[in-house]
């Protein structure tokens, strides 16, 4: 299900009608262009701020984005630039907070182009010294920091 479907499923039809047709008391149908634009904006910014692709099967995604679409439509109708800046800051904060609490799937994963293959954990294979399964008591490197004077 797409975000626009989630919006129409979760919000009352009258709320969407009034939000997509601000200052038009005679409107009888949704302004599809405004709704589509608001949905596209919120989805794009959600994915940017939360570092996750919108997924309609995740309830928190729906809650944040549906509320965002509703509030953005209200902002479009109000024409208040100060309120608009406030809206974006609140929306960004919700997305970032959600991302931090859910450990975003959009994080960078380390990759490499090395052709080497890690040793197996088979006890019969001879392993190189640097590929030990257990650490020994010996310290091959000096500890970092200022050198201690020897007495």
Say yes or no to pLDDT of 122 above 80.
no
The answer to pTM > 0.75 is no
Task: Read off the pLDDT of residues 52-88 as tens digits, 9 standing for 90 and up.
Answer: 899 989 999 999 999 999 998 888 776 666 667 888 8
Say yes or no to pLDDT of 138 above 60.
no
Question: What residues does each domain of the chain span?
Answer: 3-102
pLDDT band at 90; cut points 50, 70, 90: very high
Give the residue among 97, 85, 1 at the shortest CA–CA distance from 49.
97
CA distance 11 to 70: 8
| Structural element, H or E, at residue 49 | helix 32-50
- Name the phi and psi angles at 50, rounded to 5: -85, -10
Say yes or no to pLDDT of 29 above 80.
yes
User: By three-state DSSP, how is residue 54 classified?
Assistant: coil
pLDDT band at 141; cut points 50, 70, 90: low
Average pLDDT over every residue of 11-36: 89
Give the residue among 4, 99, 122, 101 at the shortest CA–CA distance from 47.
99
């Amino acid at each position: 299900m797409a975000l626009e479907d989630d919006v129409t499923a979760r919000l009352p039809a009258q709320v969407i009608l009034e939000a997509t047709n601000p200052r038009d008391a005679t409107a009888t149908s949704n302004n599809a262009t405004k709704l589509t634009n608001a949905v596209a904006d919120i989805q794009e910014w959600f994915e940017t701020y939360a570092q996750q692709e919108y997924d309609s099967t995740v309830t928190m995604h729906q809650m944040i984005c549906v509320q965002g679409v509703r509030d953005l439509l209200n902002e479009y109708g109000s024409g208040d630039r100060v309120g608009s800046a406030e809206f974006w800051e609140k929306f960004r904060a919700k997305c970032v907070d959600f991302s931090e609490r859910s450990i975003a799937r959009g994080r960078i994963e380390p990759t490499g182009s090395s052709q080497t293959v890690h040793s197996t954990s088979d006890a019969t294979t001879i392993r190189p010294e640097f590929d030990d399964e257990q650490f020994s008591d010996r310290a091959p490197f000096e500890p970092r920091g200022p050198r201690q004077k020897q007495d």
